[in-house]
Chain A
C-alpha cells in the first residue's frame, strides 16, 4: 500500500507531571505523550504500534512481572492486554490522567 506510520520525535522538554510508562503506578490511566521509537527494533516498533501503543492512546499498567526486576509489564490498551518488557516501557512517556 505504501503507507508507513509517521515516526515521532521525542519532546525535548519533559513536563513535570509526566512519567515513563515503566514507572507508572498500577491501575492508573495515562495518556501517551511520546514514544522514542529509535530505542526499539523496527519490527518491535511496528508490532507495538499495531497493538495500539502510539501517541494519544490511553494505557494503564495491569500487572508487573514476577521475580526480580518486576519484568515484563502487562499493559491495558483499550480492551486488550499486552505484555512488554520494561526497556520498551521506558521509551514511552505518559501523562497520568
Chain B
C-alpha cells in the first residue's frame, strides 16, 4: 500500500485551521518563510495511526483559488503544485467551519475539483451546535464525494477519526469526483448553498451570544470606551506585571557576569564576555517579559475574536490618515517592540497600507525607550502634582507617548500623499465568531513570538553589541585619559558633535547616541559610563546618573534629548527587520532618513523653544 508523506491543511480564514494544526502536530512545528515572499510557511510532524510520521503544512487561509493577496497566491500555487521548490502535497485536508458551510463550501469545491486525495474536517461542530445547527456529516460526504470527519480542534475531539480517514485516503477513487470545474462564481455559490442545505438537519436562526456581545462591543459609544479601557489595562499590565520578571532577568545576568568574573582571570576574553556579551544581550533580553505580557493580551484578543472588533472600531480613525483598521494590530504590538509589530503587518493585504504601517511602526513608543525616558524625567522634571493623583512627571511621560502617536499619524498622512501614494485603502474584514481562546493555542503562539525575539537577540543584537563594545574598548586609553575619549566610539562622537551642538546636545549625549544604535536603552548605560559612575548595580547607576544629569544638563537640553528619542531611529534590529519585510534597502533607508530628520528637527525646536521661554 502506498502511503502519504505530506499533507496540507487548507481552508477559509477563521475555519479553525491553526487550532487544528496545533492539535495534530503539537509543538513540533517549524516556521519559516516561503522563499521570495513574506508569507509564513508553517510545517509540523504529525504521527499517523500506523506510527509513521508525515509532514503536515498549514497553508494560509484563502477564500478562493482566484487569489486576492500574496497569502492566497501561495496557497493556490502550493495546492496546484506550481510553487517553485515546494512539492505538491499528496493529501489535502479541507478545514470547514461547520457553522459557516454555505460560505466555506465555495472554496472547498474548488479544492475537491483539483482531483487530489482529499479529506474534509468539519471543524468547530460544537460552536455550530451553540448556534442551533444540527449537521449530517454523511450527507455532506455524499454530496462532496470525499470523506467528512466532524472535529473540535480546540478540544482535540475527532482527531483520531480524522487521522484514520487521512491514512485510508490513498485508496480514494478519484474518478468518481463530481465535476465542479469552471462554474462561475454565482453558480459555485448556488451549489454551495444547496450542499449546505442538504447537510443541515435542523437550524434555528438564533445566535444570541454572538449578536448580544456585538451589540455591546460594537456599540457606537460603549464600544470605543470599552476598547480604550482595555488598552489602558494592557499598558498598566505591561509595565506593572513585568517589573519583578525584569528584576529576575537582570539578577540572572548579574549572576552570570559575577560567575564569569570570579572564575576567569582578568583578560580580554573576560571583559568581552561580561561587558560585551552578557551586558549587551542581557540588556535586550530584559524586554522579554513586557513583550510576552503584551502578546498574551494580543493573542487572547485575536483568538477570542475581539481583535477584529477593535479593528472595526479603529478603522474610522485610521481612515483619516489614509490607513485602515487592519493597521491597528501591528501598531499596538509596536508599543512593546517594533520588530513583532513590523512582522504583524503581513496580515495587511494592501501593499501600500502595509508599507506605510511598517514605516510608522518605529514611532510607537517601544519599551526600549522607557528606561531613557524614566531616567531623564526623574532627573529634570520636578515631582510636583498638577492635579489630584496626576503628577507632572507622569504627565510628561504620557505626553511623550502621545507625541509619538501624533507624529506617526502625521507621518502616515504625509506618506500616503507622497511616497506611498495610491487609492484610498479599503477595509474588508470578516468578523469571526466569539470563542474562549484555548490556553494551549495561546501558549504555542507566545512561545513562537518569544523564540523569534530571542533568536534575534542571539544574532543581530549580539553582533551589534560586540562591535560597539570593541569600538568603545579600542584603542586603549593612555593613563589619565578617559577610555571613552580615547576609543574609536569617542572619536566618532567628537566628529559628530558639531552637528548636534545647535540642538543643545552636549558631547556626552552625542556619544550616547552611538551605542544607542544597537538598542535605545543602551543610551542610559553609555551616559552612566561617560559620567564615570563606577557601579555595577543598575538601580544605583540610575540614581547616581540622575544626580549627574540634574547637575549638568539644563532643562532645554534634557527636553531636547527626550524629544530626540520620540523619533529616535537608532535600533539596528528594527532596520534589519524592515529590510527583510520590504525585500530591499530602499524603504529602510527612507525610514531611517525621515526619522533622523524628524528627531533632529523636533529636538532642535524643543531646545530653542525652551531657551526662548527662559526655562
Given contacts A51-B63, A80-B103, contact A72 B316 (CB under 8 A): yes
- Please determine whether B66 and A4 come into contact, CB atoms closer than 8 angstroms: yes
Shortest distance from the beta carbon of B371 to any chain A beta carbon, whole Å: 35
Shortest distance from the beta carbon of B74 to any chain A beta carbon, whole Å: 15
How far is A62 from B350 in the complex, measured between Cα atoms in Å? 26
How far is A64 from B221 in the complex, measured between Cα atoms in Å? 11
Total A-B residue contacts, Cβ distance less than 8 Å: 141
Which B residues, 312 to 357, have Cβ-Cβ distances below 8 Å to chain A? 312-313, 315-317, 319, 325, 349-350
Which B residues, 164 to 213, have Cβ-Cβ distances below 8 Å to chain A? 181-186, 189, 207, 211
- Please determine whether A70 and B185 come into contact, CB atoms closer than 8 angstroms: no
- Please determine whether B185 and A54 come into contact, CB atoms closer than 8 angstroms: yes
How far is A70 from B189 in the complex, measured between Cα atoms in Å? 31
- Please determine whether B182 and A2 come into contact, CB atoms closer than 8 angstroms: yes
- Please determine whether A3 and B349 come into contact, CB atoms closer than 8 angstroms: no
How far is A57 from B185 in the complex, measured between Cα atoms in Å? 12
B-contact 0/1 string along A45-76, CB 8 Å cutoff:
01111111011110000111111111110100
- Please determine whether A66 and B103 come into contact, CB atoms closer than 8 angstroms: no
A-contact 0/1 string along B94-131, CB 8 Å cutoff:
00000110110011001001000000000000000001
- Please determine whether A72 and B68 come into contact, CB atoms closer than 8 angstroms: no
Interchain Cβ contacts under 8 Å between A and B, 7 examples:
A62-B211, A63-B218, A65-B316, A67-B317, A72-B427, A78-B102, A82-B430
Chain B residue at minimal CB-CB distance from A55: B186
- Chain A contact-residue range equals 35 or more
Interface of A with B (CB < 8 Å)?
1-6, 40-41, 43-44, 46-52, 54-57, 62-72, 74, 77-85, 87-88
Top 4 nearest A-B pairs by Cβ distance? Answer: A50-B63, A5-B185, A81-B431, A46-B68
Contact of A52 among B66, B189, B423, B427 (CB under 8 A): B189
Given contacts A80-B430, A85-B426, contact A72 B325 (CB under 8 A): yes
Q: Provide the residues of chain B in CB contact with A83, threshold 8 Å.
A: 308, 311-312, 315, 325, 427-431
Q: Provide the residues of chain A in CB contact with B69, threshold 8 Å.
A: 43
Q: Provide the residues of chain A in CB contact with B428, threshold 8 Å.
A: 44, 47-48, 51, 82-85, 88
How far is A63 from B269 in the complex, measured between Cα atoms in Å? 64
Chain B residue at minimal CB-CB distance from A66: B220
Other 18 A-B pairs with CB < 8 A, given A51-B63, A54-B189: A1-B181, A3-B181, A3-B182, A6-B185, A43-B69, A44-B428, A46-B64, A46-B66, A47-B63, A47-B428, A50-B106, A65-B312, A70-B220, A74-B431, A79-B131, A81-B430, A83-B427, A84-B426
- Please determine whether A71 and B214 come into contact, CB atoms closer than 8 angstroms: no
Shortest distance from the beta carbon of B354 to any chain A beta carbon, whole Å: 13
- Please determine whether A79 and B181 come into contact, CB atoms closer than 8 angstroms: no
- Please determine whether A41 and B110 come into contact, CB atoms closer than 8 angstroms: no
How far is A6 from B100 in the complex, measured between Cα atoms in Å? 24
Q: Provide the residues of chain A in CB contact with B315, threshold 8 Å.
A: 65, 71-72, 83, 85
Q: Provide the residues of chain A in CB contact with B214, threshold 8 Å.
A: 62-63, 74, 81
Given contacts A67-B316, A72-B316, A81-B214, contact A88 B426 (CB under 8 A): yes
Shortest distance from the beta carbon of A62 to any chain B beta carbon, whole Å: 7
> CB of B394 within 8 A of chain A?
no
> CB of B407 within 8 A of chain A?
no
How far is A71 from B102 in the complex, measured between Cα atoms in Å? 27
How far is A80 from B68 in the complex, measured between Cα atoms in Å? 19
Given contacts A3-B66, A46-B64, A84-B428, contact A64 B220 (CB under 8 A): yes
Chain B residue at minimal CB-CB distance from A46: B68
Shortest distance from the beta carbon of A2 to any chain B beta carbon, whole Å: 7
Given contacts A72-B325, A79-B131, A88-B426, contact A5 B319 (CB under 8 A): no
How far is A85 from B66 in the complex, measured between Cα atoms in Å? 23
Q: Provide the residues of chain A in CB contact with B223, threshold 8 Å.
A: 66
> CB of B470 within 8 A of chain A?
no
Chain A residue at minimal CB-CB distance from B349: A43
A-contact 0/1 string along B274-315, CB 8 Å cutoff:
000000000000000000000000000000000010011101
> CB of B65 within 8 A of chain A?
yes
- Please determine whether A51 and B103 come into contact, CB atoms closer than 8 angstroms: yes
> CB of B158 within 8 A of chain A?
no
Chain B residue at minimal CB-CB distance from A78: B102
Shortest distance from the beta carbon of B384 to any chain A beta carbon, whole Å: 35
Q: Provide the residues of chain B in CB contact with A50, threshold 8 Å.
A: 63-64, 66, 68, 106-107
Chain A residue at minimal CB-CB distance from B131: A79
How far is A78 from B101 in the complex, measured between Cα atoms in Å? 10
- Please determine whether B63 and A72 come into contact, CB atoms closer than 8 angstroms: no
How far is A74 from B319 in the complex, measured between Cα atoms in Å? 16
Contact of A69 among B184, B189, B316, B429 (CB under 8 A): B316
Shortest distance from the beta carbon of B78 to any chain A beta carbon, whole Å: 15
Q: Provide the residues of chain B in CB contact with A67, threshold 8 Å.
A: 224, 316-317
How far is A46 from B405 in the complex, measured between Cα atoms in Å? 33
For A46, A48, A50, the residue with the greatest tally of chain B CB atoms inside 10 Å of its CB is A50
Given contacts A52-B103, A80-B100, contact A43 B184 (CB under 8 A): no
Q: Provide the residues of chain A in CB contact with B207, threshold 8 Å.
A: 79
Q: Provide the residues of chain B in CB contact with A51, threshold 8 Å.
A: 63, 103, 428, 430
Chain A residue at minimal CB-CB distance from B14: A80
How far is A78 from B316 in the complex, measured between Cα atoms in Å? 25
Given contacts A65-B312, A65-B315, A71-B316, contact A78 B426 (CB under 8 A): no
Q: Provide the residues of chain B in CB contact with A68, threshold 8 Å.
A: 316
Q: Provide the residues of chain B in CB contact with A43, threshold 8 Å.
A: 68-69, 349-350
How far is A1 from B368 in the complex, measured between Cα atoms in Å? 50
Shortest distance from the beta carbon of A69 to any chain B beta carbon, whole Å: 6
Shortest distance from the beta carbon of B134 to any chain A beta carbon, whole Å: 14
- Please determine whether B220 and A1 come into contact, CB atoms closer than 8 angstroms: no
Chain B residue at minimal CB-CB distance from A49: B185
How far is A79 from B196 in the complex, measured between Cα atoms in Å? 12
Contact of A1 among B110, B186, B316, B350 (CB under 8 A): B110
- Please determine whether B103 and A74 come into contact, CB atoms closer than 8 angstroms: no
Q: Provide the residues of chain B in CB contact with A4, threshold 8 Å.
A: 66, 184
Q: Provide the residues of chain A in CB contact with B308, threshold 8 Å.
A: 83
Chain B residue at minimal CB-CB distance from A53: B428
How far is A67 from B332 in the complex, measured between Cα atoms in Å? 20
